[in-house]
């Protein structure tokens, strides 16, 4: 895809984040969509392309009252929205539509109008993972981490520091769910969830949503917000079974999606001013730093523990507080994208001064899928 041909011209989250017992899941979608429409100065009738995940495009198009000529229901977990951005950019360039709305919302905490997850007993997961006691992401996502730690020499204290540093960012963000400072000892003494991970190394469970509006770059200058251009994109999938990853030392999906985006963007790692790596659990930023090529995996734990990703550090990472401290409704990728857009607009609560390039990397399922979007505010 060509660089900087498509821009984000509308971006918003739901009016509230956290516990929202007065809204169903589809209404959370609509709340985010209406906020993004207002942000872009548009009407719903201006939307001719639509993408969403979990909820179907037909469900949300009906509820919102829109008639799209291009739809994408790619639903590969929490990074679905990175893939939507990539697909939407291609669709806009190909002339299939002009103005795309992407929505995410999840009643992850209140569970209102949300279908429960179900693994069929005759699926591969149902036959070869469920019988051994996996039960929700905390029992599955950390399964590779002990091998990762042994291979790369990562310590429990370094993995605790991921949570500590992200709380430092969250403290600067009025909308973050958890803002009180924490220490490595706090993390390592918090309640055990699935060894080696404790409560403070696992993402929050909240309600919320977000929406993006994309259009061609040549139209973007006519919108009220500062355009945020799409510089590079990548995507891939590996396996829905965490036990069947090619290796636990890295994520194949990350190693395909990330470098694709960097190549398309034509940038090097030194050019990156701001970085988001989807952190459903504390090991993900370490996988991401290594798999995206910022440094060898062996150095990732020390890099974070030494403070390089904290406020004022040389590589600001997960500046909204991340899934560990900001919010996590179940499919966090949309919130990572929202923070990248805020940073590129220059309006983030913990703004990185003069940031011009933001890399936003997402995961879906338990390393099942991946999507990477690189944004810039310079054309």
Containing 26, the helix (H) or strand (E) segment is helix 25-40
Cα of 195 vs its chain's centroid, Å:
24
Nearest residue to 74 (alpha-carbon basis) of 323, 369, 343, 375: 369
Smaller CB separation from another protein, 123 or 216:
123
- Choose between 103 and 201: whose C-beta lies nearer to another protein: 201
Least separation in angstroms between CB 141 and another protein: 9
Nearer to another protein, 34 or 143 (CB): 143
Tell me how far, at minimum, the Cβ of 17 lies from another protein, in Å. Answer: 24
- Separation of alpha carbons 73 and 13, rounded Å: 20
Least distance from another protein to the Cβ atom of residue 234, Å = 23
Closest distance of CB 136 from another protein, Å: 6
**Based on CB atoms, which residue is closest to another protein, 246 or 263?**
246
Q: Token match 């899941």: residue? A: 25
Please report, as ranges, the residues that interact with another protein according to CB under 8 A. 119-122, 124, 126-136, 138-140, 142-147, 150, 191-197, 241, 243-244, 248
Nearest to 145 by CA among 336, 323, 301: 301
- Contact, 168 vs 176, CB < 8 A? no
**Block residue for tokens 């609509």:** 30
CB of 183 to another protein, least distance (A): 22
- Cβ distance to another protein smaller for residue 72 or 279: 279
Phi, psi dihedrals of residue 356, rounded to the nearest 5° = -120, -25
Asked whether the beta carbons of 70 and 49 are under 8 A apart, the reply is yes
């Amino acid at each position: 895809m060509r660089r900087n041909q498509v821009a984000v011209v509308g971006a918003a989250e739901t009016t509230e984040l956290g516990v929202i017992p007065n809204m169903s899941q589809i209404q959370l979608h609509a709340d985010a969509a209406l906020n993004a429409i207002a942000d872009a100065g548009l009407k719903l009738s201006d939307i001719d392309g639509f993408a969403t995940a979990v909820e179907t495009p037909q469900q949300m198009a009906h509820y919102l009252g829109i008639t799209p000529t291009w739809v994408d229901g790619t639903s590969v977990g929490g990074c679905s929205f990175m893939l939507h951005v990539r697909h939407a950019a291609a669709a806009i360039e190909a002339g299939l539509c002009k103005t795309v709305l992407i929505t995410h919302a999840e009643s992850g905490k209140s569970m209102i109008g949300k279908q429960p997850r179900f693994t069929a007993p005759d699926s591969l997961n149902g036959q070869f993972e469920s019988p051994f006691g996996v039960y929700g992401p905390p029992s599955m996502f950390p399964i590779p981490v002990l091998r990762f730690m042994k291979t790369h020499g990562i310590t429990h204290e370094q993995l605790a520091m991921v949570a500590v540093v992200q709380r430092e960012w969250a403290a600067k963000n009025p909308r973050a769910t958890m803002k009180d400072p924490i220490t490595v000892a706090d993390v390592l003494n918090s309640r055990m969830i699935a060894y080696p991970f404790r409560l403070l190394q696992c993402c929050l469970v909240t309600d919320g949503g977000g929406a993006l509006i994309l259009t061609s770059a040549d139209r973007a200058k006519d919108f009220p917000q500062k355009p945020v251009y799409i510089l590079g994109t990548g995507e891939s999938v590996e396996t829905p079974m965490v036990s069947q990853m090619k290796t636990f030392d890295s994520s194949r999906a990350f190693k395909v999606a990330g470098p694709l985006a960097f190549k398309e963007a034509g940038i090097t790692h030194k050019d990156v001013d701001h970085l988001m790596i989807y952190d459903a659990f504390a090991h993900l930023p370490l996988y991401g730093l290594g798999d995206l090529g910022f440094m060898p995996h062996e150095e990732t734990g020390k890099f974070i523990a030494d403070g390089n990703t904290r406020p004022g550090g040389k590589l600001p990472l997960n500046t909204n507080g991340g899934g560990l401290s900001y919010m996590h409704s179940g499919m966090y990728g949309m919130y990572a994208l929202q923070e990248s857009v805020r940073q590129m607009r220059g309006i983030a609560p913990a703004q990185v001064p003069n940031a011009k390039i933001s890399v936003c990397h997402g995961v879906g399922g338990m390393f099942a899928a991946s999507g990477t979007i690189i944004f810039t505010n310079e054309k």
